[in-house]
Amino acid sequence: MAYILILMRYNASDHSHSRMKINIYLGELAAYHGEDFMNMTDAKATIGIIGGSGLYEFFEGDVNEISVETEYGHPSDKISVGQMFGKQISFVPRHGKKHSLPPHKIPYTANIAALHSLGVKQIISPCAVGSLKSEIEPGHFVICDQFVDRTYGRAQTFFDGPSVAHIETADPYCAELRRLAIDSASRLGLKAHPKGTVVVVQGPRFSSTAESLWFSRMGWDLVNMTQYPEVALAAELGICYLNISVVTDYDVGVYAKHGIAPVSIDQVMAIFKQSTEKLKTLISEIIQNVPSGCACECKQRAERAKIT
């Protein structure tokens, strides 16, 4: 496996995010061959994947690994850039390759800004979730259409003044990418729920039984720790954003309400492993069929949001 290391600095101070400054650190370059130099400065991607728990690498074979520095700091880890089906894809592991970042310490703004700096227009964002309903079973996928934010203290906007924007989040997820994901899952014969509401908790602790019962009584479907503010930040930059929730277990309220016995950790791990392979197949199917530009409202919505 060949790796090319690139260090880049992204300056997004004007919030148009249209210009990129690239600083190549000569000390880092010394170990590499001259012919790789052009590849480094040409690093671009139109599709971004933010890998959740269990998905720390996506590409097999040769990839470029780049370090991007943004005005919001460094992303969770180096970003891998490679090709699939003739499309330029970038991948960042949300918790870092070694899963060293808990949900409340993930640099959400830097991750989204870094992908945007590479030219990413569409983000595919899988994440592990707990189910709040007995009919949403471990091993199923859910293509979420709504979130409920229960987090606090996280940087949640690129518009922190003096530029101000109020992004609409009535329908936070890209309608076209959601349709594509639902169709792709159907073609592959995967059990995928076509919509769902995920309540995003601060973590890192799991919910108490009382909290979990409350969430399910509210009619919410899933519980997770990372969907917010990621989805809102992508929306602010006009990036189409798709969530694929991977159900790994029932949340504690389902056990209490339905008398379903908790599964063993071995079963959870087995489901998780099977789900990861299915998830990669689903993402590949989506990438193969995704159009270069979505006919959706995401970009116009970001333009409408700007006040100053």
Q: Which residues are catalytic?
A: 249, 251
Report the site for Zn ion in 159-178 (rule: CB under 5 A).
174
Number of residues that bind Zn ion (CB under 5 A): 5
Q: Is 124 in the site for Zn ion (CB under 5 A)?
A: no
Site for Zn ion (CB under 5 A): which residue of 155, 190, 263, 296?
Answer: 296
Q: Which of residues 255-294 bind Zn ion (CB under 5 A)?
A: 294
Our finding on whether 246 is near Zn ion (CB under 5 A) is no
Full DSSP string of the chain: ----EEEEEE--TTSS----B----HHHHTTS-GGGHHHHHT---SEEEEE-TT------S--EEEEEEETTB--SSPEEEEEETTEEEEEEETTTTTT---GGG--HHHHHHHHHHTT--EEEEEEEEEESSTTS-TT-EE---EEEEE--S----S--SSS-B----SS-S-HHHHHHHHHHHHHHT--EES--EEEEE--SSPPPHHHHHHHHHTT--EEESSHHHHHHHHHHTT-EEEEEEEEEEE-HHHHHHH-PPPPPHHHHHHHHHHHHHHHHHHHHHHHHH--SS--SSHHHHHHHHB--
Min dist. Cβ of residue 294 to Zn ion (A): 4
State yes or no: residue 298 binds Zn ion (CB under 5 A): yes
Query: Nearer Cβ to Zn ion, position 118 or 294?
Result: 294
C-beta closer to Zn ion: residue 6 or 50: 50
Selected binder of Zn ion within 240, 247, 279, 290 (CB under 5 A): 240
Nearest approach, Cβ of residue 179 and Zn ion (Å): 10
Contact map string, positions 55 to 94, toward Zn ion, x by CB under 5 A: ----------------------------------------
Question: Measured from the CB atom, is 49 or 199 closer to Zn ion?
Answer: 49
Residues that bind Zn ion (CB under 5 A): 174, 240, 294, 296, 298
